[in-house]
Amino acid sequence: MAAAGGRSAGRSCFVLGASGETGRVLLQELLSRRVFARVTLIGRRRLSLDEETGAVVEQAVVDFERLSEHAAAFQGHDVGFCCLGTTKAKAGTAGFIRVDRDYVTQAAELARAGGCTHFVLQSSQGANPHSRFLYLRVKGEVENLVQAVGFDRCTILRPALLLCKRQESRPAEWVARQVLGVVAWVFPTCYSVPVERVARAMVACVLHPGEGKVKVLENAAIHKLGKAVPQQACSAEEMGREELDHHSDALVG
C-alpha cells in the first residue's frame, strides 16, 4: 500500500485514543513507517507533539458527549484506528460503558458515513458479550456493534495484559507487577503482550489485510504479526497501571 520512498499517496487515517499507551506507540509506528499521507488524531484535547511530528499530523478536538456535531472530523479517512478506552476505576461503571462502548460505536458509525473502509479496533482478550464480568462483556458488545456498522474490513485485536513503559507508578502495585512479569516471561504469548507489538500488529493488518471482511486477532496472533520489527523487551517494573486496572475490572465485574 505504501508508496516507495514516501507516504502512501493520498491515503488518510485517524486515530482515536492517541493519548493512551497503545495510541502513542501507534502514532510513532505510523509516522516512522510512513504509512499514510495524512494522520488525524481525534480526541477531547490537543496533544503536545514535537515540531517534526506536528508538521505531518492533524488534530481534531471533539466533545464525545456531542460527537454527532463533529462528523467533519471523521470525513475522508480510509482507515480508522481505535485505541479509545478507560477503566471502571477511573470513570465508574456508567462512564466505562459510555467510553468503551458508546463513544467507540458512534465514532465507528461516523467514520463509515465519512468514507472509512477499514476499522481497526483494540479490544481485549476474553471479550464476550455474554460474560458475567463487566469489562469483558462491554468489550464483547462493542466488537459486535462495530462489526454491524458494515465496514469493508474490520480488524479486531484482543491483546492480553499490555506491557508498557509509564511515567508514573504506585508502590502498592509493585508486587502485582513482579508476579505478572514472571508469568509473562514463562508464557510470553498467553497472558501478556508488549504495547509496541500491538501497535505494530495494528499497522501490519492494514498493510497486509488478507482475506475476509472481519478478522479477529487473539493474543498469539498479535505477537506473531507484531514481530516484524525487533523491539526491546519491557521489564516487570514497566507494566502499566491502567492495564492492571483493566484486568482487575474483569475479575470483579
Interval 10-43: pLDDT, tens: 799 999 999 999 999 999 999 998 889 999 999 9
Position 135, amino acid: Y
| pLDDT above 60 (res 9) | no
Residue 149: per-residue pLDDT: 98
CA atoms within 13 A on the CB side of 169: 16
- Residue 241 within any structural domain of the chain: yes
- In the set 88, 90, 103, 135, the catalytic residue is 135
pTM of structure: 0.83
**What's the CA dihedral at 113, 115, 118, 122 to 10 degrees?**
-50
- Residue 194 within any structural domain of the chain: yes
- For residue 145, the enclosing domain spans 12-252
- Residue 6 within any structural domain of the chain: no
Question: What span, in angstroms and rounded, lies between the C-alpha atoms of 34 and 8?
Answer: 7
- Residue 7 within any structural domain of the chain: no
SS3 content of the chain, % helix, strand, coil (to 5): 45, 15, 35
Question: What span, in angstroms and rounded, lies between the C-alpha atoms of 243 and 124?
Answer: 10
Interval 83-128: pLDDT, tens: 999 989 899 999 999 999 999 999 999 999 999 999 999 999 999 9
CB 158 within 8 A of CB 123: yes
- Residue 5 within any structural domain of the chain: no
* 103 included as an active-site residue: no
- In the set 88, 103, 139, 215, the catalytic residue is 139
More confident residue, 217 or 192: 217
Contacts (Cβ under 8 Å, ≥6 apart) of 75: 114, 115
Q: From 17, 21, 18, select the one nearest 161 (Cα to Cα).
A: 21
- Residue 2 within any structural domain of the chain: no
* 191 included as an active-site residue: no
Count of domains forming the chain: 1
- Residue 199 within any structural domain of the chain: yes
Residue 43 sits in a domain of what CATH number? 3.40.50.720
- Residue 137 within any structural domain of the chain: yes
Mean pLDDT score of the chain, rounded to an integer?
83
Residue 227: per-residue pLDDT: 84
Give the mean pLDDT of 133-158: 98
Q: From 222, 230, 231, 1, select the one nearest 120 (Cα to Cα).
A: 222
